[in-house]
Structure 1
Amino acid sequence: MSDEATVRRLATALPRVTEKPSYGTPAFYAAGKIFARMHEQPGVLICWRADLTEREALLAADPQRFFTTDHYRGHASVLVRLEQIDETELAELLAEAWEARTGRRAPEPGADPGV
């Protein structure tokens, strides 16, 4: 089970990440691009994916953890129910979102973040 504090800790551990509000909720940016933000619905994270195919795979694999709404139709992001995801998988999702938006590979946890 994860929460907003876990998202913040994991997201800001990635290289050159800044946090600033977007649509009134905390959002995380790398290379000037948003890669994740808290949704207006409590306990839900919006997390960017590399493309729609990747998003659809998550939606099909586990609809209890991952979902979308009409607002995000055609958008390469997935909504994540934080209460349904553990910290390890959340860290992986955030690293992949960071990579999708920066075009770089995220360093392994504990590695030199001088990317």
Structure 2
Amino acid sequence: MGAIAAWPELRNFALSLGLPQVEDAVSWGNPNLKAHGKLWCWWSPYVDAAVFKGRIEEREALRAADPATFLHHDHYAKHGLILVAAGRIERDWAEARLRRTWEEMAPKRWLATWKAGQG
């Protein structure tokens, strides 16, 4: 399987991770996935790219290393969001990013209970 190239593919990939508390949603007229009731990932309506949560410093480091993959759009400049160009979203990177973000977004008490049940 190659790099993820469109929202339906990213959506299916993210849901295939089997993480609880993830649901389809629509915000500002655009489909997205929410985790724990908060925006988790979506496709930008401004540029052909997926949007992942992250930190500004991380985004800038990724953009400096690979500006063809990690894009800039003024709409997202003030937020810790990472835009990854369509067709350049590597599955291993996306999985690690989604899992980390999902865990960071989880309510701590809920996460501790969930992890205890996984062991």
Report the TM-score, using the length of structure 2 for normalisation: 0.73
Which residue identity is paired with 2:78? G
Say whether residues 1:4 and 2:7 are aligned partners: yes
Matches within 5 A, 1:24-103: 24-41=29-46, 43-49=48-54, 51-102=55-106
Please give the secondary structure, in 2, of the residue aligned with 1:80: strand
How big is the alpha-carbon RMSD for the aligned residues of Structure 1 and Structure 2? 2.6
Check whether the contact 1:22–1:37 (CA below 8 A) recurs between aligned residues: no
Question: Which of 1 and 2 has higher RCO (CA within 8 Å, sep 6+)?
Answer: 1
- Name stretches of at least 5 consecutive residues in structure 2 with no aligned partner: 109-116
Check whether the contact 2:52–2:81 (CA below 8 A) recurs between aligned residues: yes
Change (3 A) 1:26 1:53: same
Show structure 1 runs of 4+ deviating over 6 A: none
**1:15 paired residue number:** 20
Identity of aligned residues (%): 30
Equivalent pairs, count? 107
Change (3 A) 1:43 1:74: closer
More helix per residue: 2
Computing the radius of gyration over CA atoms, which structure comes out larger, 1 or 2? 2
Check whether the contact 1:59–1:67 (CA below 8 A) recurs between aligned residues: yes
- Name stretches of at least 5 consecutive residues in structure 1 with no aligned partner: 105-112
Report the TM-score, using the length of structure 1 for normalisation: 0.75
CA distance in 2, matches of 1:92, 1:47: 11
Change (3 A) 1:56 1:42: closer
Cα-to-partner distance string for 1:10-59 (whole Å, 9 max, x where unaligned): 3223221011112222211112111211111474111110x211221221
Change (3 A) 1:99 1:71: same
